[in-house]
Structure 1
Amino acid sequence: MWFYRFETDAIGWNPHVNVLVPDGYRDNGRRYPVLYLFHGGGVGQDFISWDRAGIRELAARKEIIIVMPDGGPAGWYCNPVHSNAGPRNWETFHMAQLLPWIDANFRTYAEFDGRAVSGFSMGGFGALKYAAKYYGHFASVSAHSGPANLRGSGDLVTHWANASSAAVELAGGTVYGVPWDQARVSADNPMENVERYRGKRVFMIAGDSPAPFDPFDQITERAVLTTQNDFKGALDGAGIAHESHAVGGGHVIRGDFFRRDLDGIIGRLRKAG
């Protein structure tokens, strides 16, 4: 695992990034596909979260570079409408700064078929958002217990994003504004951008249990599953291929399904060589 800290004016502090490289990377001269892997929300969630979850074991002997950046405890992989805590422009940091830096400093394939994006919970939403908004950047997208519809169930996820960001990220500011910036909500909402998943590998999983609650104690895994089912229906209606799973349990990373997903990611992307 290689560790980096960035100086950036996009964030009010210097965010961290972990990069997991394949065995032999330092000496073999080969190029590899890249997975951008995002953490979930909550106090204490950060660039180390996937390491705590066992990513080294989960990705052992896999020929892929895995990039795990900070995303803030409730940054929602967005540039917020308003912050009282200084800059928290996570989207700018990830997409305009980190991604080109990775391609410039690692032996990657800087192309559509060379990149995937995935995440857990809030990070799964971020993965779905980036895959649609930056259509040509990622050939595969995965959401592990990540919400997939900002406007379903009475706009629950948008309320959740605003409330959580105000409480623990933006010192009373909000991701989507008060009142909401409706154009921004629509631009970020997977359900309103279904066509931008055509031609990509799409993977989703969520539990069907109402407990345990997520870190903000405002939304259950069953609510996440409802948003994924909304999105699945939209993908089905558009004739867009995808893989989705509803399984027992709550808001957790499921190692067996992560391994399955990682194998699918590697199968979709350009091979190391």
Structure 2
Amino acid sequence: MPRPAPRRRASALVLALLATLVSGVAATTATAHAAPAFSSGHGIEVRNVMQTTPRTYVVNIHTPSVDTRALAWTYHDVVVTLPSDYNPHVAYPVLYLYHGRAQGPGNWHNEANIEAVTHGYPIITVAADAGWAGWGTNWVNQSAGAQQWDRFHLDELIPWVDQNLNTIRAREGRAVAGFSMGGFVAIRHATHRPWLFRMAIGMSGGYHLEDQRMRAAVTGPLPQKGLPLDGPFGAPWDGSWGFNNPWHRVGALGGVHTVLYAGTRHDDLLEAQAHRLTYEFHQHLLANGIGNSWMVEYDCGHWIECAARVGIGRELPVMMDVLQHP
């Protein structure tokens, strides 16, 4: 008999080998796609990238806009969390997150567990450093080291994220949120550049820089870090206090979906004051014809984990209605 069977077996082996190679290439491609290659650009130098979970990357960076002495931690990191089913060929909206005083971007993950909160939502989250007490502004007195937070957050970070990830590169694809000092930063950025953000969430913050309670909150802690009292906004009579004051720029929020949160734990003195300052800003917005959502969280004190677990978790479905997304 002729020997066709061995040839058939050989053909089957070849086909099986090709199938294995193709599936291997596909798996490799999928893995490569799942791990974005973060590169330097827009004033940000990427020094190291560490993938901490299948979705989250800690990107160690350097920018001349921010001296590391101004940070609460040793390293300047940006923490990026991708959607659960991230597809690099699909454009996603981005939620920028800012932390409270003496915290860092890691607090959103280590305490607030923002990765679990955003699970299942088609949105990229970027937790960026806001400094030990940066307040989102280009400091008037930078004698203790460069602190140009406005430049870093708005001129460098946003285009750098757009460069490295597939994002919706318009205001309809961006939201900004923050806790405590970070709440001020989020609202401050939205009032200064409303064309960058479609939604802004301030949690447990204060938004009137010329209020004496707010001034005390800004300047009081600075000596603990060896920072000048006139650092963020200058001397008490300096015009920078008014220039950076969201209270005077509420008209800019007319096209921004604005949400304000505060807790009810008035035995927590920090939260009690944040609650009063937030409610006053809510009323000030209404008096100026600016619609906004005022949310009270029961049994929440001045804790970032409460803000994220409850506040961000509640607002994500709203975010999906407000922002463009896949």
The one-letter amino acid of 2:137's match is C
The 8 Å contact of residues 15 and 70 in structure 1, kept in 2 or not, is answered as yes
Task: Look up the match of 1:50.
Answer: 108
**Alpha-carbon distance, 1:194 to partner:** 1.1
Alpha-carbon contact 1:166-1:173 (below 8 Å) kept = no
Aligned to 1:164: 221
Distance 1:78 1:166 in 2: 18
Cα deviation for residue 171 of structure 1 reads 5.5
For residues 261 and 96 of structure 1, the distance between their equivalents in structure 2, rounded to whole angstroms, comes to 26
Q: How does 1:8-19 map to 2 (within 5 A)?
A: 8-13=63-68, 15-19=76-80
Letter of the structure 1 residue corresponding to residue 106 of structure 2 = I
What is the rounded CA distance, in whole Å, between the counterparts of 1:59 and 1:235 in structure 2?
29
| From 62, 87, 95, the counterpart of 1:7 | 62
Please give the alpha-carbon distance, in whole angstroms, between the structure 1 residues aligned to 2:315 and 2:185: 17
Provide closer, same or farther for how the CA distance between residues 28 and 90 of structure 1 changes in structure 2, counting only shifts above 3 A. Answer: closer
Structure-2 residue corresponding to 1:124: 183
Which residue is 2:143 aligned to?
Answer: 84
Question: Quick one: distance in 2 between partners of 1:116 and 1:127?
Answer: 9
Contact kept in structure 2, 1:211 and 1:251, CA below 8 Å: no
Contact 2:234–2:240 (Cα < 8 Å) also in 1: no
Deviation per residue, 1:87-136 (Å, 9 max, x gap): 12222111111111111111011111010100111000000000010110
| Residues 152-196 of structure 1: per-residue CA shift (max 9 Å, x gap) | 3xx211222122234326366521222342x22122222111101
What secondary structure is seen at the aligned counterpart in 2 of 1:119?
A: strand
Match of residue 98 from structure 2: 38
User: What corresponds to 1:204 in structure 2?
Assistant: 260
State the distance in 2 between where 1:113 and 1:263 align. Answer: 15
Equivalent of 1:106 in 165, 184, 188: 165
Say whether 1:74 aligns with 2:133.
yes
Letter in 1 for 2:100: G
| Rounded Cα–Cα distance in structure 2 between residues aligned with 1:168 and 1:117 | 27
User: How far is 1:28 from its partner?
Assistant: 4.9
The corresponding residue for 1:222 is: 272
Alpha-carbon distance change, 86 to 73 in structure 1, aligned in 2, over 3 angstroms: same
Give the fraction of aligned pairs with identical amino acids, expressed as a percent.
30
Q: CA deviation at 1:230?
A: 1.5
Contact 2:194-2:256 at 8 Å conserved across structures:
no
Give unmatched runs, 5+ long, in structure 1. Answer: 214-219
Whether the aligned pair in 2 keeps the contact of 1:149 and 1:228 (CA below 8 Å) is no
- Matched to 1:130, the amino acid is H
- TM-score, normalised on structure 1? 0.89
Q: Aligned residue for 1:261? A: 315
* Cα distance change on mapping 1:262 and 1:187 into 2, 3 Å: farther
- The letter for the 2-side match of 1:121 is S
CA distance in 2 between counterparts of 1:68 and 1:169 reads 25
The alignment partner of 1:203 has SS state of strand
Q: Which runs of 4+ in 1 moved over 6 A?
A: none
Structure 2 counterpart of 1:174, one-letter code: G
What is the CA–CA distance in structure 1 between the aligned matches of 2:98 and 2:257, rounded to whole Å?
17
How many aligned residue pairs are there? 260
Distance 1:54 1:177 in 2: 36
Residue of structure 2 in register with 1:217 after alignment: none
Structure 1 residues 99 and 28: alpha-carbon distance in aligned structure 2, compared to 1, 3 A threshold: closer
The one-letter amino acid paired with 1:22 is: P
The 1:126/1:81 distance shift into structure 2, 3 A limit, reads: same
Matched, 1:252 2:252: no
Residue equivalent to 2:83: 22
Deviation (angstroms), 1:9: 0.8
Runs of 5+ in structure 2 lacking a partner?
Answer: 1-55, 69-74
